């Protein structure tokens, strides 16, 4: 029965990690260019059970689950018009490049603003780069020609935080930059709520299994053993 405790606990730990990702998706349901995450679960393996008296095979028993990897859905979301001159969206494939303290990073969140010196920056203050790798400056009219904003193809993208990606630039992206628009969030609140409820029920099932095993062990130790 002790093995059952570990199996149930491993499932609960996996569901906790899954709920963290779902909650993060819900929190970023309105973040422009956000890409949702999913936790891929797998079994630790199967254990073959045998009859201790005859040696005959009885069947297999799962040994628990764990999170194999976190997968990001990089599918482009529909863009919406904002009319703001410093909002940009990518139509098609490609990413904006920004300069951070850790090096060049990439994003689909084009909700930019003006900084001191006339530079185009992200909400975190990171300068937006052009195709030549230099910071983009804002014109005297307070606007930026979309063709001056760099658009890069990125291989092996990996999320760093909610909006930034690491990866290797592989030339210019095949899409186009649109001014006055923002790409929507890749998180679907309705689907996330359904997934959250399903994950919570799975977590509660693990709790019930542990409670049942604990009560059974208590009876075996304190009641049966006293006879």
**pLDDT recorded at residue 210:** 86
Look at residue 217 in the predicted model and tell me its pLDDT: 78
Residues 6+ apart with CB under 8 A from 26: 187, 189, 192, 193, 196
DSSP 74: -
pLDDT of 120: 96
The Cα–Cα gap between 85 and 104 comes to 24
What confidence score (pLDDT) does residue 222 get? 72
**What is d(CA 148, CA 127) in angstroms, rounded to the nearest whole number?**
13
Q: Are 74 and 100 in contact (CB under 8 A)?
A: no
Selection from 113, 114, 110 nearest residue 89 by Cα = 110
Q: How confident is the model at residue 58, as a pLDDT?
A: 65
CA nearest to 177, candidates 101, 89, 115, 104: 89
| Res 24: pLDDT | 93
* DSSP conformation class of 118: S
Q: List strand residue ranges (DSSP E) for 1-87, in order.
A: 37-43, 46-50, 57-62, 65-72, 79-81
Which ranges of the chain have pLDDT less than 50? 1
Question: With 0-12 CB in 10 A as exposed, 13-18 as middle and 19+ as buried, what is 35?
Answer: buried
């Amino acid at each position: 029965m002790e093995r059952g405790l570990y199996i149930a606990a491993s499932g609960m730990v996996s569901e906790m990690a899954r709920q963290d990702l779902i909650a993060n998706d819900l929190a970023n349901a309105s973040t422009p260019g956000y890409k949702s995450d999913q936790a891929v679960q797998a079994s630790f393996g199967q254990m073959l059970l045998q009859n201790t008296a005859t040696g005959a095979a009885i069947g297999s028993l799962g040994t628990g689950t764990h999170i194999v990897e976190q997968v990001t859905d990089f599918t482009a979301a529909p863009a919406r018009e904002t009319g703001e001159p410093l909002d940009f969206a990518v139509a098609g494939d490609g990413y904006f490049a920004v300069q951070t303290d850790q090096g060049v990073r990439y994003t689909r969140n084009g909700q930019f603003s003006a900084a001191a010196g006339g530079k185009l920056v992200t909400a975190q203050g990171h300068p937006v780069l052009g195709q030549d790798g230099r910071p983009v400056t804002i014109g005297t009219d307070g606007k930026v020609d979309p063709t001056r904003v760099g658009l890069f193809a990125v291989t092996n993208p990996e999320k760093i935080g909610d909006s930034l990606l690491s990866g290797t630039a592989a030339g210019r992206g095949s899409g186009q930059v649109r001014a006055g628009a923002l790409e929507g969030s890749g998180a679907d609140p309705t689907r996330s709520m359904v997934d959250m409820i399903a994950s919570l029920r799975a977590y509660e099932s693990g709790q019930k299994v542990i409670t049942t095993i604990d009560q059974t062990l208590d009876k075996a130790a304190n009641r049966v053993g006293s006879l």
